[in-house]
Amino acid sequence: MSKKNDDFKEAAGFTAGGAAAGAGVAATVGNMGLAGAFGGVAIGAAPVVAAGAVVGLAAYGLKKIFD
């Protein structure tokens, strides 16, 4: 296997792990909301899972910096 394939697989693993963690948070916390001067907005599971994927990819980036 090439180094590029290994990097892609590792990045995909971090992204999937972050998405799974986001899904776990969404399932644990349940229905969330954001309230402010603008009123209130419900936050479903999809944005939390997407945020988890972004955090997982950021963790991969930090790992690559220190490698």
Q: Please report the DSSP string for 29-65 in residue order.
A: H-SEEEEETTEEEEE-HHHHHHHHHHHHHHHHHHHHH
Question: Are residues 55 and 23 in contact, defined by beta-carbon separation less than 8 angstroms?
Answer: no
Q: Is the pLDDT score of 6 beyond 80?
A: yes
d(C-alpha 28, C-alpha 21), whole Å: 10
Residue ranges per structural domain of the chain: 3-66
pLDDT digits 0-9 by tens, 7-55: 899 999 999 999 999 999 999 887 788 888 888 888 888 899 999 999 9
